[in-house]
Amino acid sequence: MKKITPTKHYSSTLHQLCKLIPSHETEKLARKHGVDKKARTFTPWSHVVALIFGQLTHAIGLNDVCDSLRHHASKLAAIRGAVAPTRNTLSHANKHRNSDMMEELFWKVLGHLQELSPGFGPAGRYSGLPRRFKRAVHAVDSTTIALVANCLDWAKHRRRKAAAKMHLRLNLQSFLPAVAIIEEASHHDSTRALALCAGLQDGEIAIFDKAYVHFDSLFHLHQRGIFWVTRAKDNLRYHVCRKRLRRPSGKILRDDEITLVSQKSKAEYPQRLRRVEALVEVDGEERVMVFLTNNLDWAPSSVCDLYRCRWGIETFFKQIKQTFKVCDFLGYSKHAIRWQLWSALLLYILLRFIAFKSQWPHSFTRLFTLVRGVAWDRFGLFDLADFYGTARHRYRMCSRPQQAYLPGFSP
């Protein structure tokens, strides 16, 4: 087999990764959010590069980030003049600079990458999404990030617990975030339902669990022509108006049109709902689950299949938490936490774009470890899948395996 040699490049892998961020956006957003007024030698662009580097290398602390960047100061300077910070400088920047800059930079970069390659979004379709749904399907959920209670007074939501929460609306047809809210965990999920679904269009589908069930918000979505699927709460009081299924059929036990009985709930949602009761396999066991939706035309099996797709957002959270540095933080303030979480999401879409352009055939985690290992080497970023690491080739099965024969007994 011919040996494949690395494709050399004039700049480092980290440099090529940062070049995917538009050069003018960082300075413009720094002026908009007042970050440039708090920056002297450590520029906003240097701050963004330092956080991306910390995420990419899984830095264990401020000293780790600063020492590594200072050791590669010449290669770092080639990244649009970025400079290595001291420990106190990076800590002060994370604490006092407005983290809304990184949030807006994330959405600007995402839009820029989608303009560069219009197929970037649709190519990442969630594998568990049924093909028969042509409209956009969105999963809404949140994940809790545990913090240290005695250091983070702003994030306390119980006596001895502190946490941050990431509310997310994930487009399952592109597997990219559509809306994200990062805040303290004291806010209930249902209070963020309207904000997460604000950008949905007529005919699109939203899927969420029963933590987001708020009938006022659900009726608002119904009036906008948005279809939704969720699970019913155990204490739901309702009246059956019409039985759409006479007897159980397969795993579908009941399919009814209902109205709410409680005075408050009926005032918030005065129209009919659809209640589907079905057997769903969970961890190898079949359990009875009850679903609610405002669509009266779908087959009951489609309602169950749509809710099953909600697992896609759990897969997304798993990728973020297991791959990036979102459990150990470089600072304790609210801005420091938000800077680090938004930098993790920014690095995620950059790596997803590399996987799309290079047609990466392996897992996302394998791509992350591959790029991390050659961060300062001068290799072509989009050619890494062709030559580097143990993921260089697909496994192949020999059509006629070699056989051993005793002397004198060969065919």
Mean pLDDT of 215-231: 93
- How many domains, in total, are found in the chain? 2
User: Is the pLDDT score of 328 beyond 80?
Assistant: no
pLDDT score at 159: 55
Which of 14-23, 32-41, 43-52, 267-276 has the weakest average pLDDT? 32-41
Question: Reduced to 3 DSSP states, what percent helix, strand and coil does the chain have, rounded to the nearest 5?
Answer: 40, 20, 40
The verdict on 20 and 61 lying in the same domain is yes
Cα dihedral across residues 128, 134, 140, 146: positive or negative? positive
Domain that holds residue 19: 13-102+328-387
**pLDDT level of residue 184 (50, 70, 90 thresholds):** confident
| Phi, psi (rounded to 5 degrees) for 134 | -90, -30
The residue with greater pLDDT, 149 or 294, is 294
The verdict on 378 and 333 lying in the same domain is yes
The verdict on 290 and 235 lying in the same domain is yes
Nearest to 299 by CA among 233, 366, 356, 250: 250
H-helix segments, 235-377: 263-268, 300-308, 311-323, 334-358, 364-373
Inside any domain, residue 341: yes
The verdict on 17 and 97 lying in the same domain is yes
Q: Residue with structure tokens 């050619």?
A: 383
The verdict on 344 and 291 lying in the same domain is no
Q: Residue with structure tokens 């002060």?
A: 92
Inside any domain, residue 339: yes
State the DSSP H helix or E strand holding residue 127, giving kind and residue range, or none if neither: none
The verdict on 89 and 27 lying in the same domain is yes
User: Is the pLDDT score of 103 beyond 90?
Assistant: yes
* Three-state SS at 321: helix
Token pair of 289 as six digits: 């689950």
Q: Tell me, what DSSP letter sits at residue 36? A: G
Mean pLDDT of 291-300: 92
| Phi, psi (rounded to 5 degrees) for 19 | -70, -15
The residue with greater pLDDT, 119 or 389, is 119
The verdict on 349 and 272 lying in the same domain is no
User: Is the pLDDT score of 408 beyond 70?
Assistant: no
Rounded-to-integer distance, Cα 95 and Cα 70, Å? 21
The verdict on 18 and 98 lying in the same domain is yes
381 alpha-carbon distance from chain centroid = 22
The verdict on 25 and 94 lying in the same domain is yes
Mean pLDDT of 272-300: 90
User: Is the pLDDT score of 351 beyond 90?
Assistant: yes
User: Is the pLDDT score of 157 beyond 80?
Assistant: no
The verdict on 342 and 268 lying in the same domain is no
The verdict on 352 and 286 lying in the same domain is no
Inside any domain, residue 162: no
**pLDDT level of residue 410 (50, 70, 90 thresholds):** low
Rounded-to-integer distance, Cα 29 and Cα 199, Å? 23
Using one digit for the tens of pLDDT, what is the confidence trace for 356-383? 988 888 888 888 998 998 899 888 888 7
Inside any domain, residue 267: yes
How many angstroms separate the Cα of 405 from the Cα of each of 54, 386, 410? 57, 38, 5
Inside any domain, residue 199: no
pLDDT score at 358: 87
**Among residues 300, 316, 346, which one ends one of the domains?**
300
The verdict on 294 and 354 lying in the same domain is no
Rounded-to-integer distance, Cα 66 and Cα 54, Å? 9
Inside any domain, residue 374: yes
> What residues are paired with 183 via a beta bridge?
165
Sequence-distant (6+) residues with CB within 8 A of 277 are: 252, 253, 254, 255, 288, 289, 290, 291
pLDDT score at 400: 46
Inside any domain, residue 160: no
Inside any domain, residue 261: yes
**pLDDT level of residue 394 (50, 70, 90 thresholds):** very low
User: Is the pLDDT score of 174 beyond 80?
Assistant: yes
Percentage, residues of the chain above pLDDT 90? 51
pLDDT score at 347: 95
Sort residue 170 into left (φ over 0), alpha (ψ -120 to 50) or beta. beta
State the DSSP H helix or E strand holding residue 46, giving kind and residue range, or none if neither: helix 44-57
**pLDDT level of residue 140 (50, 70, 90 thresholds):** very high
**pLDDT level of residue 220 (50, 70, 90 thresholds):** very high
State the DSSP H helix or E strand holding residue 163, giving kind and residue range, or none if neither: strand 162-171
User: Is the pLDDT score of 52 beyond 90?
Assistant: yes
